Amino acid sequence: MRVLRLLGSLKLTFVLLAAVTAGIGAGYVGGLDARPLLTGVLALLIVNLLGAIATHPRFRRQSALLAFHLCLLAAMVLVAVGDLLRLEGRLELANGQAFEPELVQITNRGAWFSDAALEAVAFRQGRFTVDYAPGLVRRAMRSWVDVSPGGEHPDRQIVGDTQPLVQQGFRFYTTSNKGLAALVSWVPVRGRAQIGTVHFPSWPLHDWKQVNEWTSPGGDALVLELVPALDLAPGEAFTFDSERVPAAGELRVSHAHGDASLLPGQMLRLPGGRMVFHGLTTWMGYRVVYDPTLPWLLATGIVGALALGWHFMGSLSPDARLWRAADRDPAVRA
Amino acid sequence: MLPTVTQPFAPEVLWIWGGLAGYIASAVASIRIRTGAASRRAEGRVLGALWFAVALLAVAVTQRWLRVGHGPFLTLFEVLLSNIFSLGLFYAVAYWRAPAVRPGAVIVLPVLVVLGAWNVTVSPVPGSLPATYDNPWLWVHVGTGKMFLGACLTAAGLAGVLLMRGAGGPGGKRHADVVAWRFMALAFVFQTLLIVAGAAWARDAWGRFWGWDPLETWSLITWLIAGTALHARLTWKLPPAVGWWSILVVLVLAVLTFLGVPFLSHAPHRGII
Ligand code: HEM
């Protein structure tokens, strides 16, 4: 009991709250990495709050105050759990390509995140349009995806920067990252041909360097460059529409033995096999986020705020005499 | 010689000048009461001028809204305008219904005058509304934010006069103190909702409920300090003056968070993507 009381000490609360505030401030203003400090302090705050809830009689008498602090406790625990379960990543899909878990480039993965969760996600990339105001200011972005890619009829849904596709708790948002791609197939000397896309840097941001490196399945190191296929007039408003990209672009290929220029339908012989250029297509870049604790955190926040309001209504009740007290105070009236 | 026009003309600015005049009249009347140059019957004048200012600012807000086609929360000009309106409205209601807050008017009204004067010097050129603003959480967020600032300013007015030893004799002081903390408690509840709604909005809009952008960081720091201040007053029983100072600190931080951070940083929260 003594230990509990010590752990639940309000002096400790003060020190810890000050440490959290200072840690956030230092992290933000001083650019320090306050994460380890904050994690430690939050863990202590959780213990401190548990101790206080167990030992302070006020919490037994005032249930709304208790509810608020329990929500606080729950929120801290949820933030910690969310950090362990979360996933953040990026994804690029070419026009017509279906989602596959392996395509996700993970940027942040919680220790408890399970890859199996991504298996149930299924959609296929369709058309997209991006509106630009003069000066290349990006405006509305619409990306159509088919969410029943195996089904008889396409079931299309629009995804945007602020309008996610939500599947199995994963949220996919479009990003400024999207561009042109070359549709190529590879015919090895022996074996089956494969078709795929090579994505070029984000367009129109990198209009001036539509270059990418690619190693063919046959082991040939290639540099692919797209000869500008879309006219860019940055001073005018326009719409980048994946369906209005001219399929007829020109692809320059440099390899160890020389350079070549391919038009759609043309082929290049390389030591490892043959590369066929089919034409231009597009790709869309998504941001993927997963944090199953978010709805709970939201509910906790709302309940906590309401409980606190309830508590204050009781403890600082709008007693009319007090509100009007200044009226009767001679010094104030003077 | 004609004056050079440095800013494009916006019709709302005329109404804001009117509102500013109302706030000045109201502030002057409240200072006269405090210095003894006028009796407390002049409180009617304070309130009258306050309502007059709020009514003109309501016209300014409406006109702006209709003219640019979206609510006033994008540019500094718009944020200042909507806040001088909502703060004035909050304070007018408090002044009218809860006479205990009236001593704080000598601080609250000059603050409104300063914000109003700032408003007329800021460029009224409209911004463009990014898609993230099309979200129901935005309304909860903005509404709770206005209530939070209003309650915080009201509390700070009382805390300020208490620190100036101006809230009267022992009885008056105690009452003013209690009422100040009531408003602080109200402010804290709304601030909690503000952050929750903001996080919900951020989750919808950016796929993350929290991103440590400057606005989020500063509002969390303000919230923690407000929570610490409430603990200081109600739990740790620190000397009252420490509590009053902490109320003022919360107000200053809140005003900086609302009016400074979004316009100094280029973080996504500012709305431009
Ligand atoms: C994490 C450690 C915390 C502990 C151990 C703790 C403990 C307590 C206790 C024991 C009380 C009752 C006070 C009494 O007996 O007079 C209380 C009240 C309160 N706490 Fe906390 N608290 C914690 C964190 C927080 C935080 C983070 C906030 C908000 C930022 C907060 C806000 C409040 C409020 C508003 C009251 C109401 C004061 C009143 O009406 O008397 N608490 N806390």
Say what the ipTM of the complex is.
0.73
pLDDT of residue B195: 86
- Give the residue on A whose Cα is nearest the Cα of B103: A332
In DSSP notation, B232-249 reads HHHTS---HHHHHHHHHH
Angle at B241 between CA B238 and CA B243, to 5 degrees: 60
Which has more confidence, A56 or A24?
Answer: A56
CB contact under 8 A, B100 and A324: yes
CB B236 near ligand 1, within 6 Å:
no
Closest CA–CA distance from residue B8 to any residue of chain A (Å):
21
CB A293 near ligand 1, within 6 Å:
no
Statement: residue B267 has pLDDT above 60 = no
Closest CA–CA distance from residue B17 to any residue of chain A (Å):
32
Atom of ligand 1 nearest to the CA of B235: 16
| DSSP code at position B90 | H
Chain A residues with CB inside 8 Å of B134's CB? 162
pLDDT tens by residue, A259-276: 888 888 899 988 888 999
CB A41 near ligand 1, within 6 Å:
no
Share above pLDDT 70 across residues of chain A, in percent, rounded to a whole number:
91
Statement: residue A95 has pLDDT above 70 = yes
CB contact under 8 A, A326 and B172: yes
- Range in A44-58, A181-195, B124-138 the model is least confident about: B124-138
What residues are paired with A238 via a beta bridge? A132
pLDDT tens by residue, A277-303: 998 889 999 999 898 888 888 899 999
In angstroms, the Cα distances linking A328 to A71, B45, B176 are 40, 20, 12
Q: Chain A interface, mutation test: which of B209, B218, B219, B249, most A Cβ atoms within 10 Å?
A: B209
Nearest of A281, A278, A273, A243 to residue A263 by alpha carbon: A278
Contact A121, A93 (CB under 8 A): no
Nearest of A262, A274, A261 to residue A216 by alpha carbon: A274
Closest CA–CA distance from residue A333 to any residue of chain B (Å):
6
CB B231 near ligand 1, within 6 Å:
yes
B165: left (phi over 0), alpha (psi -120 to 50) or beta: left
pLDDT of residue B270: 37
Tokens of A327: 């009226």
Tokens of A149: 């890619």
Q: What share of chain A is helix, strand, coil (3-state, %, to 5)?
A: 35, 35, 30
The contacts of residue A173 (CB under 8 Å, 6+ apart) are A159, A160, A161, A162, A163, A164, A286, A287, A289, B206, B207
Tokens of B257: 């968070």
CB atoms inside a 10 Å sphere around CB A188: 14
Buried residues in A9-40 as b, exposed as e (16+ CB within 10 A): eeebbbebbebbbebbbebbeeeeebeebbee
Distance of CA A103 to the CA centre of its chain: 15
pLDDT of residue A315: 59
Angle in degrees, 0-180, between the axes of helices A294-315 and A63-85, rounded to the nearest 10:
160
Closest CA–CA distance from residue B64 to any residue of chain A (Å):
23
Tokens of A278: 């089919």
Nearest of A334, A331, A315, A316 to residue B173 by alpha carbon: A331
In DSSP notation, B34-86 reads HHTSS-GGGHHHHHHHHHHHHHHHHHHHHHHHHHHSS-S-SSHHHHHHHHHHH
pLDDT of residue A50: 92
Atom of ligand 1 nearest to the CA of A308: 35
Q: Chain B interface, mutation test: which of A162, A165, A172, A308, most B Cβ atoms within 10 Å?
A: A162
Partner-chain residue, chosen from A291, A323, A329, that has the shortest CB–CB distance to B169: A329
Q: How many pairs of residues across A and B have Cβ atoms under 8 Å apart?
A: 137
Q: How high does pLDDT run on average in chain B? A: 82
Residue B273's pLDDT band, with cuts at 50, 70 and 90, is very low
Contact A154, A148 (CB under 8 A): yes
Which has more confidence, B127 or A305?
Answer: A305
Q: Report the nearest-CA residue for atom 30 of ligand 1.
A: B227
Atom of ligand 1 nearest to the CA of A9: 5
CB B234 near ligand 1, within 6 Å:
yes
pLDDT of residue A331: 38
Chain A residues with CB inside 8 Å of B182's CB? 312, 316, 318
Partner-chain residue, chosen from B207, B218, B231, that has the shortest CB–CB distance to A289: B207
Closest CA–CA distance from residue A326 to any residue of chain B (Å):
5
Average pLDDT over residues A90-108: 92
Torsion of CA A288, A293, A298, A301, to 10 degrees: -140
Question: How far apart are the CA of A59 and the centre of ligand 1, in A?
Answer: 10
Atom of ligand 1 nearest to the CA of B223: 30
Share above pLDDT 70 across residues of chain B, in percent, rounded to a whole number:
82
CB contact under 8 A, B128 and A304: no
Which has more confidence, B225 or B73?
Answer: B225
pLDDT tens by residue, A320-334: 444 444 444 433 333
Dihedral sign for Cα atoms in the order B17, B22, B25, B31? negative
